[in-house]
Structure 1
Amino acid sequence: MKLAVFSHCAVDTITLDNQNYEQIGGSACYCGITARQFKFDVDLYTKFGPDFPKQYLIENKINSIHSESQKPTTRFSISVEGSDRTLKLEHECDPIDYASASADGHMVSPIYHEISEETFKKIKNDSNFLFVDPQGFLRQKDPQNNIVLEKTNLDLSHVNAIKVNPDEGKQFVDCSDDELMLALQKKGAEYVLLTNKTEVSMLVKDKVYSISLPNKQIHDTTGIGDIFCSAFCCTMLKEKDFLWALCFAGGAAQAALDSKNVGLQKIPKKGNIQTNASYFYNLVKFRDL
């Protein structure tokens, strides 16, 4: 099976416990490498500059499409404290060129303005199953280049699944968690995933399904959401079962956190994800909404 991923690669400087780690990343890398753990072929629609180690993608058998730019790669400085992160934009690469993508599923997960509304519309027209993490549509920078979130009228028609956290959700509609999920459903999303640190909820039709990740010591959280999204998307495409997809997504996030690794090194192996997924499957709670 094949997954098409639309997102920028990045070079991140992660500050954790007073130490700096320069890591390649971006949703493009986290989602793509996670999908490879699920044995998916990956077509990556991205942009990066001469400063990005393209060989890393080649070694992981990720096919990058129209990806090379003369501009430096998008860069962030990321400060991690517990489960909270602050981001500063250091550089922004070129927008992603649209190209028709023949794949079983499409993931749109921008990190900062690389996908235009017109490109997003074309992706929606191409896709059989579309998962959206809207973070990069919502991000703006203040005068000091710190990342802040801004309200959006993003068109979610023809979107199959969306993942937001509470802060991102408020940029669509400022209301309670349940009202937020209903509002995103009414905007077009069939599966609405809300992640609030260790609490994960999913609205499907008129029911909310939820799991809780074990509350252990948290290390580097960079990319955890991307790993979660990619695991959900791949499982949904393979198994056609939203409960298993939820559990595999939670299992992937938990395995990544358990690794205590920094950057892309935290992406877990399929076996670890599956063990956690089986654990979560027996603990799923549900309620009517």
Structure 2
Amino acid sequence: MKAAFLAVGNISIDLIHSAGGFARRVAGSSFYASLAAARLGVKSAVLAKAGADIVPSRDLAPLLRAGVVLDGLVVGGSTASYELFYRGEDRTLRLRRVGEPISPDDVRSLNIDCQAALASPIYNEIPDETLQELRRRCRLLAVDPQGYIRKRIRGGWIRFSRWDAVKKLRGLADIIVTSKPELPYLARGRDDRSKLLNLLNSGAEIAFMTREGGAKSALLAYDGRVVEIPVVPPKRMVDPGGAGDVSAAAFVTEYLRTNEPVWSALFASSVASFIYEAFGAEAAPSREDAIERLRSFLMRFHAELYREFMAYL
């Protein structure tokens, strides 16, 4: 199976409580990431597991309409399920059901060949051996360790626990993507900037802290320095679900296209702003729409960045 972008992580059924109301939604990191990448014009595929209660023609119709390749959807066992409670951009998670692990054999059986992969477990379903197999087959490997720091406690509630990303991802990830609430559990340091820089000790070229989780700005670490990335605001706030996964996918695919990390982070901020404006990833934009919003934002508020990246705008 060939694809420019491969989203790895299980499909889930989520029960979501937010200011926009209650929703039962088919979700999961690979769902959001692959859909966003496809709408940005990138040939995308998923490697994920789900139970027989997930019917692709019904439940994954947005992916099919966007042209996402589903050859890597392995049906069997249980479908992962979360209940999410949002207060603004803060959220509390309750794990209702654990999904099946994604094994190295799942990667090998598909004969996967991709330019970039984003491995983003939702609950420990991507073991080290699978990351190693992806590393061998993909030119660029990004990892969002969100599911590695999640620990289920009594009642299914999720709390974060420390996961040493520098040690665990050493020599594996080219890019590490995380969020402000999760960063302290991945790396040590006196503040967000030093923690993000510390992630580069894993051998990763780039560490990206997205704007999700209530951060006033995103942060980008590369070449031994940290750059603050301004947040492109949404026009309205409906539902933050999926914004982090979409940010990661937008950054990885744009970096694959341009090899320019700061521009890619700005682009990801613009793409993510659309996600807040509707439920799930329904509002995932085209690349042209994302660039137009970013152009307007930079012209108005960040003239120096507008001049620096005019060639991309």
The answer to whether TM tops 0.5 is yes
- Offset, 1:35: 0.8
Give unmatched runs, 5+ long, in structure 2.
306-313
Task: Indicate the SS of the match to 2:264.
Answer: helix
Query: Is 2:198 aligned against 1:183?
Result: yes
- In the other structure, the counterpart of 2:223 is 205
Shift in CA distance, 215/105, structure 1 to aligned 2, threshold 3 Å: closer
Who is 1:173 aligned against? 187
- Give the conservation status (yes or no) of the 8 Å contact 1:46–1:65: no
Contact 1:69 1:93 in 2 (8 A): no
Q: Secondary structure of 1:46's match?
A: strand
Q: Which residue of 2 aligns with 1:157?
A: 171
Alignment coverage as a number of residue pairs: 283
One-letter identity of the residue aligned with 1:163: V
Shift of 1:212: 2.3
Partner of 2:11: 9
In structure 1, distance between residues paired with 2:259 and 2:20: 44
Cα RMSD after superposing both structures = 2.1
- Specify the alignment match of 1:26 in structure 2: 28
Give TM-score, length-normalised by structure 2: 0.84
Superimposed CA distance per residue, residues 123-155 of structure 1 (whole angstroms, 9 cap, x where no aligned partner) = 122221111111011111111111111111322
Contact preservation (8 Å) 2:121, 2:148: yes
Residues 87-102 of structure 1 correspond to what in structure 2 (within 5 A)? 87-98=93-104, 99-100=107-108, 101-102=112-113
Q: Which letter maps to 2:34?
A: G
Once the two structures are superposed, residues 207-265 of structure 1 have per-residue CA deviations (whole angstroms, 9 ceiling, x without a partner) of 322222256663311110111111111111112221221111011011222x2x11131
Separation in 1 of the partners of 2:6 and 2:170? 18
Using the TM superposition, give the Cα deviation of residue 156 of structure 1 relative to its aligned residue in structure 2, in angstroms: 3.4
Do the aligned residues in 1 keep the contact of 2:239 with 2:280 (CA within 8 Å)? yes
Q: Whole-Å Cα distance in 2 between the matches of residues 281 and 132 of structure 1? A: 29
Q: CA deviation at 1:74?
A: 0.8
2:281 is matched with 264
1:193 aligns with 2:208: yes
Letter in 1 for 2:133: K
Which residue does 1:248 correspond to in 2?
267
Q: How far is the alpha carbon of 1:70 from its aligned partner?
A: 3.0
Which AA in structure 1 matches 2:259? K
Alpha-carbon offset, residue 160 of structure 1: 1.4
* Aligned CA distance change for structure 1 residues 54 and 248 (closer, same or farther; 3 Å): same
Is the helix fraction higher in 1 or 2? 2
Structure 1 residue 118, shift from structure 2 partner:
1.2
Q: 2:92: which partner in 1?
A: 86
- Given that 1:247 and 1:280 are in contact with CA atoms closer than 8 Å, whether structure 2 keeps it comes out as no
TM-score normalised by length of structure 1: 0.90
* Partner Cα separation in structure 2 for residue 126 and residue 150 of structure 1: 30
Letter in 2 for 1:174: R
**Partner Cα distance (1:64, 1:30) in 2:** 14
Identity %: 21
Instruction: Specify which of 50, 58, 64 is matched with residue 58 of structure 1.
Output: 64
**Cα separation, 1, equivalents of 2:6 and 2:76:** 24
Q: Report which stretch shifted further, 83-92 or 269-278.
A: 269-278
| 1:140 alignment partner in structure 2 | 151
Distance 1:65 1:157, change over 3 A: same
